[in-house]
């Protein structure tokens, strides 16, 4: 068996991050390449015995050649949209030429490239035209290059999917350009990964160009409605309106989503092109179960926020799910959520600091403004919610599934971690967490986190209205817990993370080491 590593160029991009995890799960050796190796150290798979990291800027031919040496195959997952190099088409052309040269010099057996759907001669957008051009440059080299062409990829972190998510989440009524009725053939991220890795195992794919897509051909209007249905949102009113300039459409998207204009504009320009598969040869060569658009959206919604408090990638490779958000995903990946984390460092042992957390709720109360908690329970009961059940399980420690007043225990590791999910009537999902960890021989850190994932615009407006009161109550709660321990405070309490994310965030940017198809 060939134990040469497989090279992934663009390992810190949206597809690259997930492909590396996927290849490792299949038992392959992987060489992850990025122009910023320090980013690779932040990945959950960075410590795997079957992976090696290498610095390789696609604009540095020699570094790229060295990355190729000793590898069997290279996955090329690179584009320059959103980078600071100006003309992304010119940058992509140069990078692809460098990759073709490096593959030959490094004696690779083949290159596998993920491009975009779209037929020449149909007024392709610059973005799609550039993706096709990169494929041709790679195939013009002496090393056989396989080109897979995809439309929108459905999954948390995919720029196209995140644009759709934010628009539908935030706008009950949308005045959209004419591209809303353009047909496309989206593909779930897990199916993309299966096709990419499957090409390694099927010699017949060598040097070929293949269209990959899911089983559904839908308009963007229909895709938005499917998303609204799966997100349990009211049906969206979508009104097409001719917009004369794609730049106006991209700035409109920037106004209502945190996706940067430099990335949104080329993607939006491509929405006017019909992107559907022209052949299905890949189905027979790499057979797999293709998820529908609805199934893919459902998975993305389930996983994008489920692991806000407990990221799946912290639980080990068996928990990695491609629909989840990963470290180094863009800051806007996963949709809108709000959080505030506070911490305090105390003298003492984890057991001593955990004691008041173990007793929280029920007769003990919440250590601060208990009358406000009772009032909230009363109002919740009036709104048809569970109200303040005033109690908790009989166990001396919390167990998953236990109720604690109007919260339910999701995760409980006695002495270490407690996660509570609110069951009150809310326009979204609220989570409260506590984590205790030793920081020294005689010191312990107590971290409190409050999280809220809004459901549509109503959830965003709700959180905007109540967040000042929540901060007041949760800060007081943390101080009350600290006082109940009776232990001296070394530092804090202090805020260590706060986000209000209804407005466009600072651009994370995808450079020539990433892929956001």
Tell me the C-alpha distance between 159 and 219, whole Å: 18
Query: Is 90 exceeded by the pLDDT of residue 185?
Result: yes
Tell me the C-alpha distance between 22 and 20, whole Å: 5
Tell me the C-alpha distance between 170 and 177, whole Å: 17
Q: What is the DSSP letter of 365?
A: B
Tell me the C-alpha distance between 47 and 326, whole Å: 15
Picking from 301, 282, 121, 139, the residue whose alpha carbon sits closest to that of residue 213 is 282
Q: List b or e across 476-501, with b for residues whose CB sees 16 or more CB atoms inside 10 angstroms.
A: ebbbbbbebbebeebebbeeeeeeeb
- Note whether 6-319 and 338-499 share their fold: no
Burial level of 44, CB count in 10 A (0-12/13-18/19+)? Answer: buried
Tell me the C-alpha distance between 45 and 58, whole Å: 22
Looking at residue 410, its pLDDT comes to 86
Angle at 81 between CA 77 and CA 87, to 5 degrees: 120
* Residue ranges of domains in the chain: 6-319, 338-499
pLDDT tier for residue 216 given thresholds of 50, 70 and 90:
very high
Residue 47's contacts (CB-CB under 8 Å, 6 or more residues apart) are none
Looking at residue 133, its pLDDT comes to 86
Q: List, for residues 42-67, the tens digit of each pLDDT value.
A: 777 777 788 888 888 888 899 999 99
CATH topology of domain 6-319: Rossmann fold (3.40.50)
For the chain, what percentages of helix, strand and coil (3-state, to nearest 5) are there? 40, 20, 40
User: Domain 338-499 is in which class?
Assistant: alpha beta
Query: Is 90 exceeded by the pLDDT of residue 198?
Result: yes
Looking at residue 516, its pLDDT comes to 33
Q: What integer best gives the mean pLDDT of the chain?
A: 84
pLDDT tier for residue 68 given thresholds of 50, 70 and 90:
very high
Looking at residue 511, its pLDDT comes to 34
Q: List, for residues 487-516, the tens digit of each pLDDT value.
A: 999 998 888 765 544 443 333 333 333 333
Provide mean pLDDT across the span 274-302: 92
Query: Quick count: other Cβ atoms within 10 Å of Cβ 467?
Result: 16
Determine the 3-state secondary structure of 345 from DSSP. strand
Q: What is the DSSP letter of 487?
A: P
């Amino acid at each position: 068996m060939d134990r040469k590593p497989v090279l992934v160029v663009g390992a810190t991009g949206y597809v690259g991050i997930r492909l590396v995890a996927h290849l490792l799960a299949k038992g392959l050796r992987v060489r992850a390449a990025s122009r910023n190796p320090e980013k690779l150290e932040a990945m959950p798979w960075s410590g795997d015995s079957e992976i090696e990291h290498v610095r390789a800027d696609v604009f540095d031919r020699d570094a790229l050649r060295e990355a190729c040496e000793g590898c069997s195959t290279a996955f090329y997952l690179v584009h320059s949209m959103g980078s600071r190099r100006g003309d992304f088409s010119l940058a992509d052309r140069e990078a692809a030429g460098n990759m073709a040269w490096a593959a030959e010099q490094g004696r690779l057996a083949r290159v596998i490239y993920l491009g975009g759907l779209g037929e020449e001669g149909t007024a392709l957008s610059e973005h799609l035209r550039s993706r096709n051009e990169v494929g041709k440059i790679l195939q013009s080299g002496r090393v056989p290059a396989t080109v897979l062409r995809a439309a929108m990829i459905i999954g948390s972190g995919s720029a196209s999917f995140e644009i759709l998510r934010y628009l539908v989440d935030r706008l009950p009524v949308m005045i959209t350009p004419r591209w809303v009725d353009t047909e496309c053939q989206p593909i779930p991220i897990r199916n993309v990964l299966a096709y990419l890795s499957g090409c390694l195992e099927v010699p017949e794919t060598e040097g070929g160009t293949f269209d990959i897509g899911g089983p559904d051909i839908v308009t963007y209007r229909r895709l938005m409605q499917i998303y609204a249905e799966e997100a349990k949102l009211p049906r969206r009113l979508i009104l097409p309106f001719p917009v004369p300039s794609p730049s106006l459409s991209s700035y409109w998207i920037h106004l209502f989503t945190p996706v940067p204009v430099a990335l949104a504009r080329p993607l939006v320009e491509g929405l006017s092109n019909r992107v559907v598969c022209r052949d299905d040869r890949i189905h027979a060569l790499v057979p797999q179960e293709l998820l529908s658009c609805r199934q893919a959206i459902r998975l993305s919604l389930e996983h994008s926020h489920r692991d806000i408090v407990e990221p799946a990638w912290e639980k080990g490779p068996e928990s990695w799910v491609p629909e989840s958000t990963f470290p180094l995903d863009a800051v806007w990946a996963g949709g809108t959520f709000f959080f505030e984390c506070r911490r305090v460092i105390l003298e003492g042992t984890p057991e001593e600091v955990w004691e008041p957390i173990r007793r929280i709720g029920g007769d003990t109360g919440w250590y601060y403004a208990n009358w406000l908690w009772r009032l909230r329970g009363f109002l919740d009961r009036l709104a048809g919610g569970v109200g303040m059940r005033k109690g908790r399980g009989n166990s001396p420690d919390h167990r998953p599934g236990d109720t604690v007043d109007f919260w339910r225990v999701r995760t409980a590791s006695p002495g270490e971690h407690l996660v509570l999910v609110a069951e009150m009537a809310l326009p979204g999902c609220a989570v409260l967490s506590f984590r205790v960890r030793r920081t020294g021989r005689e010191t312990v850190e107590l971290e409190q986190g409050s999280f809220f994932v809004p459901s549509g615009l109503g959830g965003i407006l709700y959180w905007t209205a109540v967040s000042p009161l929540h901060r007041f109550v949760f800060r007081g709660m943390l101080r009350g817990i600290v006082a109940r321990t009776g232990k001296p405070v070394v530092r804090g309490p202090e805020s260590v993370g706060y986000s209000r994310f209804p407005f466009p965030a600072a651009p994370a940017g995808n450079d020539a080491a990433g892929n956001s198809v």
